[in-house]
Amino acid sequence: MDCKFQTELGTVTVNDEVLLKVAGYSALECYGIVGMASKRTTDGIVQLFGRENLGRGVRIIPLPDSVNVELFIIVEYGISIGAVAETIIDTVKYKIEHLTGIRVNKVNISVEDIRV
């Protein structure tokens, strides 16, 4: 579902794929993240995705006037998960709001795995 918002010049429509990519690239820029994760629902196996499949580790939930973002990530061993999560939340929220003009209500992070 596309996200729409009004400006004084008219309506702007942003495709969900754009939001998925902005959120994915923003998260991967942060220190301590190894990649995006996707769980296969059949057997619960976590799959690691790099830059080619960013949308698999990101879920966008459109709301009437904003969006919620859910990220499924894999972090590097030895790095503070709290610090990584805080950095990702701030970066993703800023980048989506700055690049698309759509307000982010909240960013939820699910750490699916740790890699050495």
Paired tokens of 43: 């057997």
| pLDDT at position 9 over 60 | yes
Phi-psi region of 10 (alpha: psi -120 to 50; beta: other; left: phi over 0): left
* Six-digit token string for 6: 């009004």
Q: Pick from 63, 55, 114, 43: which is nearest to 85 by CA?
A: 114
Q: Give the residue with greater pLDDT, 113 vs 48.
A: 113
Angstrom distance (rounded) from CA 107 to CA 57: 13
Whether 52 has a pLDDT exceeding 70, the answer reads no
Average pLDDT rounded to a whole number, residues 104-108 = 93
79 against 13, higher pLDDT: 79
Task: State pTM to two decimals.
Answer: 0.81
In the predicted structure, residue 59 carries a pLDDT above the cut 70: yes
Q: What is the pLDDT of residues 75-95, one digit of tens each?
A: 999 999 999 999 999 999 999
